[in-house]
Amino acid sequence: MTLAQRAFVWLQYLLPQSLLTRCIGAFARRRIPWLTPFVIRRFIAAYGVDMAEAVDPDPAAYPTFNAFFTRPLRAGARPLAPPPALLCPCDGTVSAAGALDGQKLLQAKGVLYSASDLLGDSELAEHYTGGTFATIYLAPRDYHRVHMPATGALERMAYQPGRLFSVNPATVAGRPGLFARNERVVASFRGLGTTFAMVLVGAMIVGGIRTPWAGRVTPRSGEPWQIRNAAEITCERGAEMGRFELGSTVILLFPAGCVTLAEDLHPGRRVRMGEAIGTVHADVR
């Protein structure tokens, strides 16, 4: 890491992470006619956002920044790879992917962290011993809805409170245990003949994480909580399962023998929602 990158990481310890995030989130949810269109256009120009993919490509059509940031894509913009492909759940860049070392996941080169800490549940973590994982970082320019990599029935969803460090590459490389320290949502699904997990990680200025069945889940504070599925909620392959109100990270966890990841799923690879990132060794409904 460069000196500037190290300074950026340490600066985050001094910033009022929660207050800053709540203020940005409040602005992003508000309709401010004289300001919102200007901010959206500046954001598009600064990050090179491809509005041609959106259902409505007109920046002025979005009443709030969140409406723009979580914009839906036009039909056919993200075709789904056919079964038995494991679908990429989102647009982004691969941070790390591969086999778990026991219950350890790779965060960045030379930096490991535990599935138990990430999931907040040591019993659940045992299910993924020696399994497979993929971590995908969503940059500001990316499409920010998250979709199912395979069909699954929601078993439970847990909220784990935590810090709100940035999840950009510099912080990921310089802050051990980052994903297990940040606020996050852990969703467990019954599918592929087993159980698999999707973890949506919060970060600084991420104004919220939403799911179709629970609405806005974060930001929150206090103790962890969990909901178990009372009514059957089945999410089809490729269906939306969540969205970020400003960018962050998605982590997939699969038990041993469930999937084989693509050989070229290396750190730094750009991916798009719906493309194949591996092969499933079970019936994909």
State residue 169's pLDDT score: 74
107-150 tens-digit pLDDT: 877 788 999 999 999 999 999 999 999 999 999 899 999 999 99
Alpha helices in 17-127 (DSSP H): 17-29, 36-47, 65-69, 115-119, 122-126
The one catalytic residue in 95, 166, 188, 248 is: 248
Could you confirm whether 116 is annotated as catalytic?
no
Could you confirm whether 147 is annotated as catalytic?
yes
State residue 61's pLDDT score: 94
State residue 9's pLDDT score: 56
Strands 234-235 and 104-108: unpaired
State residue 33's pLDDT score: 84
The one catalytic residue in 142, 147, 166, 188 is: 147
Could you confirm whether 127 is annotated as catalytic?
no
Are 153 and 189 in contact by the 8 Å Cβ rule? The answer is yes
How far is residue 224 from each of residues 45, 159, 162, 214, measured CA to CA in Å? 39, 5, 9, 15
Round to whole Å and give the CA distance between 244 and 250: 10
pTM higher than 0.85 for the full model?
Answer: yes
The one catalytic residue in 91, 142, 144, 166 is: 91
Apex CA 70: angle with CA 259 and CA 81, to 5°? Answer: 30
Round to whole Å and give the CA distance between 209 and 69: 12
Residues of the chain with pLDDT under 50: 284-285
State residue 227's pLDDT score: 74
State residue 18's pLDDT score: 60
